[in-house]
Every structure is written in C-alpha cells, then in structure tokens.
Structure 1
Amino acid sequence: MDTQLAEALQSGDYEAFEHVFESYWEKVFSYLSKKTHSTEAAKDLTQLVFIKLWKYRDAVSAGIPLNEQIFRKTKQVFIDWLRQEMRRRQHIAGPMELPDVQGNDTSHHRLEIRNDVANAIRSLPPKRKEIFELRHIYGYSYKEISELLGISTKTVDSQLTKANLQLRKILQTAIFSVVLQDVISHVK
C-alpha cells in the first residue's frame, strides 16, 4: 500500500496526495505543535510540510516508508523554522549595544561580560553553535537534538563539550581583561 501510494504521489496523482494529507496531517501537526509550543506556528509549518511534499513529489521514494519521508521533511521544516526564530530573536535584540553605565562599575562589568558571552557564542562554528543554542537556549535534550539534526547523541555530546571548552577559553581571556581593567582603575 505504502509503495503504491508513494509511486502514485511521485507521478503527480492528486488523489494520492489528498489521501496522504488526510492520513498524516494530524500527526505532523501534533508533532510540530509540541515542538513549537504554538498552534499558529504548527499550522503554518504543517501546511509547509505538505506544500514541500507536493512540490518535491518526484523525490519521494517507493523504497522508503512514506511515514519516514514525511517526518524527515517535517523535522527539516522545523529546523529551518528554529533557525529563522534564532535569527529573528537576534535581530529584535539587536547587537548588544550596552549603555554607558557611569558610577556603577559592577553593573558596567556585568554588561561587558554579557556582551563577551554573546560574542563568544557567535564565534562558535555554525553547527556547534546550533547544537549549543538548541541545548542551552531552547532546552532540548541530547536525544531531541540528535533526532532534529539527524546526528548521534555522541556527536551532540562531543560538540557540546567542544563548545564549552571553546567558550571557557574565550571567556577566561575576557574575564581576565575585565578584572585587569578593574585593578588598573583602582590603582590610578
């Protein structure tokens, strides 16, 4: 049945597409609703999954279960949405322009350190940064990240370890420079 449906879909049979849509819409929507925590976003993304399924129907394979192909497409649409959300949030927040805080050195130093942390995260290689943000900003588990990105949990662990080491190295230098500035300002 799955093979025939995939072949019919691949050849452009609109009735086959309708059948697939009716069979999988609820599952796709439910998955995306849990992941996005937004009914509206889930509706939009579910629609996008099926638009892409129809648009790229000639890439549907009769040898791979249709369920698996639809959920691969669903995960990719979700990852694309996450990336857009991250970019949108960074754009809204803008570059971390810090106000010049006079008279309160502690607050000023905290703001400098916060800016250093944001810059350090931006300096991570793109895939490592994505894994770091999924884990530490969005709160996804190692297993969820591995499923979303199609990588092993060992890879997730390895990339997070490397990210932490890289961030620690960058931030130690930044913190040292802030402390040094503080010492110099008190000596004057």
Structure 2
Amino acid sequence: MERNKVLALKEGDYRVFNDVFEAYWNKVYIYLVKKTKNSEVAKDLTQLVFIKLWKYRQTLSDQIGLNEQIFRKTKQIFIDWLRQELRNRNHIMAVDNLPQAGAILANEENLETKRDIYIALQTLPPKRKQIFELKHIHGYSYKEIAAALKISVKTVDNQLTKANLQLRKLLQMSVFTAIGIDIINNVA
C-alpha cells in the first residue's frame, strides 16, 4: 500500500499528495514544535517539508517507507534551520562586545559600525531590547531571562528571534547605505 503511494507521488498524483499531507502534517508539525520550541517556526518548517516532498518527489524510494522518508526530510529541514539560526546568532554575537553607551574606539570604521549597532538597538521595543541585552550582552540563558522577567522561555525565544530579524534588516540597510555613499564619493 505504501509502495503504491510512493509510486503515485512520484508520478505527480495530487490526490495522493493531499492524502499524505493530511495524514502526516500534524505529526511533522508536533515533531518540529518540540524541536524548535516555536509554533510559528514549526508551521513554516512543516510547510517546507511538504513543499520539498512535492518538489523532489522523483527522488522518493519505493523501497523505504513513506513515514521514514518524510521524517528524514523533516530532520534535514530542521538541521538546516538550526544551521541558519546558528549563523544568525553568530552574526549577532559580534554585537556582544557592544558598549552600553557607545564607548569611543580608535578605529573610525569600528566606531561607525558600533554606532550603527547602538542606534539599531535603540529602535527595539523596550522589553525586546532588555531581553536582547540580557542574552547577548550579559550572557544570560533563555531560562534565566524568563525567570528574571517572569515570562515564558518561548516568549524569550520569540522576542530574540524578532530582535535578530529587526536588527539584521536595519544593519543591512546601514551597510547598503554606506556602500552607496562610498560609491558616490568615489565616482564624484
């Protein structure tokens, strides 16, 4: 029976895909919620699992159970997400040495970068900024932050994710603006 589903999927049968989606969506979602501790991220990753299942249906094996193949894809997508999160956090970790009030550095480029980061941090909502500073400047764990602020660990994670996204967007705009100004100055 499963072999027939795999073969039908490989041939592009939408009805079988819909049946598989209905049968496995909740299992994949619950697995990813447990792993990510974030329901929104889990929804996005679950959707990605089924997108990739359909997109790469030709690579499915009729020798391996569908459940196993779906969870292999799920685990790979989760690992990819973890790698991306690690890259994002490592990028933000460079902010860890950020001075509280913008101490002056000898190197002018570093001063501009630190200023841009400091300004970007000031745009965060107060609670989000506090959570970000507790994590990335003071080194508190998610649990320690949650306990200190009397909020859930999930709230800490959500706020840090939002802070990272917001800061990344602002800092990218700052970099592109600086590059544009540099190009204009060199042309003129």
Provide the C-alpha distance between the structure 1 equivalents of 2:49 and 2:96, rounded to a whole number of angstroms.
35
1:58 aligns with 2:91: no
Q: CA shift at 1:95, angstroms?
A: 5.9
Q: CA shift at 1:21, angstroms?
A: 0.3
After the TM superposition, which parts of structure 1 deviate over 6 Å for at least 4 consecutive aligned residues? none
1:38 aligns with 2:47: no
The CA RMSD over aligned residues, in Å, is 2.2
Q: CA shift at 1:97, angstroms?
A: 3.8
Provide the C-alpha distance between the structure 2 equivalents of 1:95 and 1:39, rounded to a whole number of angstroms.
27
Q: Secondary structure at the match of 2:34?
A: helix
* Structure 2 residue aligned with 1:151: none
- Per-residue CA deviation, residues 10-55 of structure 1 (Å, 9 max, x unaligned), is 1111111101100100000000000000000000000000000000
What TM-score, normalized to structure 1?
Answer: 0.51
Provide the C-alpha distance between the structure 2 equivalents of 1:98 and 1:92, rounded to a whole number of angstroms.
11
Matches of residues 8-47 of structure 1 in structure 2 within 5 Å?
8-47=8-47
Provide the C-alpha distance between the structure 2 equivalents of 1:26 and 1:93, rounded to a whole number of angstroms.
35
Matches of residues 1-188 of structure 1 in structure 2 within 5 Å?
1-94=1-94, 97=97
Equivalent residue letter for 2:23: S
Q: CA shift at 1:96, angstroms?
A: 5.1
Q: Secondary structure at the match of 1:94?
A: helix
Q: Which runs of 5+ in 1 are unaligned?
A: 102-136, 139-188
Aligned-residue identity in percent: 63
Equivalent residue letter for 2:34: K
Provide the C-alpha distance between the structure 1 equivalents of 2:34 and 2:27, rounded to a whole number of angstroms.
11
What TM-score, normalized to structure 2?
Answer: 0.51
